[in-house]
Structure 1
């Protein structure tokens, strides 16, 4: 058996390098100091073109990231995410752009894998791709000035498999006749993120209660 290739991980401090160009679709993930975009700053944005390499953009406090912002707002680039509701919200809050178009593998899984409640990225990669992801660094300090090799490897792993995962899930969406429904959910995500940032996560304006 051939050993899997070691992924190429490139770290960019402050912003994506000027000479990095993407086409078509990219996998995107974020790491922050916590789960409250108003309180917890964005620390890292991971990007992969699905080619076995990952670009890690370390966000520096007080330093703009115009190249990254343009990429996230580029309507010609589809952003593949897992639990895009959070990633879109913190990117929009931190970069001041509307992040679109977006595809969320977690939403796809919930729409078609109704036989399970296991929709986490690690579970999906294991069950659909036969890939085991380590979550050991998930709660580490992403605001540290220097990231450890373990943090970089963990961050990269969250985007390296999203293209393959979406390929599997899109087949299931078509099979179950829910691809159009999924797209409607994806198109709504930037607005859902704006509602969350305005505090409409609770109370949920879509809930039936006084």
Structure 2
């Protein structure tokens, strides 16, 4: 595979992307810094196909990333391959308002062909290529220039190794017929709504301190205000104030700005500084949460009862057995709350639809209905069909079979 020098000009980037646009797939990774900023700072982009690989410096003077972003977001003929690509996709979305598409994530794909739910990149490389990745450059300062040869070599390795692994994963998916299992998961990863920073819904990330519409209205207003402040200053939202402090202010709003000095999590300076004034104005204007925005009432435990809870435990055991038998990650099949709902009598569930029903849901339903049990064979648990007894024929007084 040809490894290019660090790309620092728009012309070199355009030439690279023109060649890559002819590929069936490209592997993509990014290096970024976000510890001290609201928006992640993109510091390096790595990209490869089966023939060449390059690292692109987005911090280079005068470079225009448009050719790269067009390849990722506009070219539907090239599959974009990531590993645990959620944050990489978020960065592209922040730059363009779009997400890479079509998309493939090898971490998600591994759930369909192994019992690994969140396999790390190093373990992925070791399991498929048989060597250990050098992690020494992983936590370096990617924003500092010039980048070292070691940093660039480490970064490009992420996409060159992935370019070797992806075709092997794809081949196994075709062989097992499980590629269709992943369609919805990949589309969910590429859904732009997952990355939109909506001020109106920022409060939903915070544990609600109350079900009062008045309190939740204040929480919504404060959460939106905090996002705006953090964006304006380009600092993490937690640097403005922590979630716990925000929830406390929503529940127990101060009467005056001077009272802010008494709030745990805020400094005494808030009693008379400008940000404290802005906070008080937000509290004064906050309106109760509208009825259609009110969160659903939390479920206080599924109405299972003791017997139902035991059935849910048996379903979880069945999930472990089935996942081991077919070598698939349990989380791809179903979730614990879904199994509890099934045990409680709910039937409109994803696990009872499509391929999940064929692979696991059908047996799960039969277990709930008493048609499936567990047995031990050669020291291992296995599923056992339970055949219901035939109804006994009625007899008359003389012992003859009664006429039906």
Normalized against structure 1, the TM-score is what?
A: 0.81
Residues 180-199 of structure 1: matches in 2 within 5 Å? 180-191=180-191, 194-198=193-197
Deviation at 1:209, TM superposition (A): 7.4
Deviation at 1:25, TM superposition (A): 0.9
The aligned counterpart of 2:80 is 79
Partner of 1:19: helix, strand, or coil? helix
Deviation at 1:32, TM superposition (A): 0.3
Aligned-CA RMSD value? 2.8
- Contact 2:93–2:195 at 8 Å: present in 1 too? no
The aligned counterpart of 2:322 is none
The aligned counterpart of 2:32 is 32
Query: In 1, Cα distance between the equivalents of 2:183 and 2:5?
Result: 31
- Contact 1:89–1:190 at 8 Å: present in 2 too? no
Deviation at 1:153, TM superposition (A): 0.4
Residues 82 and 147 of structure 1: is their aligned pair in 2 closer, same or farther, counting only changes over 3 Å?
same
Work out whether 1:113 is the aligned partner of 2:108: no
Deviation at 1:70, TM superposition (A): 0.9
Greater Rg, structure 1 or structure 2?
A: 2
Query: In 2, Cα distance between the equivalents of 1:118 and 1:34?
Result: 22
Partner of 2:5: helix, strand, or coil? strand
Residues 14 and 142 of structure 1: is their aligned pair in 2 closer, same or farther, counting only changes over 3 Å?
farther
The aligned counterpart of 1:89 is 90
Work out whether 1:10 is the aligned partner of 2:9: no
Q: Deviations over 1:164-188 (max 9, x none)?
A: 2122222333344421121221122
Residues 209 and 88 of structure 1: is their aligned pair in 2 closer, same or farther, counting only changes over 3 Å?
farther
- Contact 2:13–2:56 at 8 Å: present in 1 too? no
The aligned counterpart of 2:362 is none
Query: In 1, Cα distance between the equivalents of 2:76 and 2:297?
Result: 37
Query: In 2, Cα distance between the equivalents of 1:185 and 1:82?
Result: 14
Q: Deviations over 1:76-96 (max 9, x none)?
A: 111111012221111121244
Structure richer in strand, relative to its length: 1
Residues 118 and 134 of structure 1: is their aligned pair in 2 closer, same or farther, counting only changes over 3 Å?
farther
Residues 142-161 of structure 1: matches in 2 within 5 Å? 142-161=142-161
- Contact 1:42–1:94 at 8 Å: present in 2 too? no
Structure richer in helix, relative to its length: 2
- Contact 2:81–2:104 at 8 Å: present in 1 too? yes
Residues 120-131 of structure 1: matches in 2 within 5 Å? 120-131=120-131
Query: In 1, Cα distance between the equivalents of 2:53 and 2:143?
Result: 19
Residues 209 and 43 of structure 1: is their aligned pair in 2 closer, same or farther, counting only changes over 3 Å?
farther
Query: In 1, Cα distance between the equivalents of 2:125 and 2:143?
Result: 27
Residues 25 and 112 of structure 1: is their aligned pair in 2 closer, same or farther, counting only changes over 3 Å?
same
Q: Deviations over 1:54-113 (max 9, x none)?
A: 211111288641111111111111111101222111112124433111110000112321
Structure ranking higher on relative contact order (CA contacts 8 Å, 6+ apart): 1
Residues 155-174 of structure 1: matches in 2 within 5 Å? 155-174=155-174
- Contact 1:80–1:103 at 8 Å: present in 2 too? yes
Partner of 1:26: helix, strand, or coil? strand
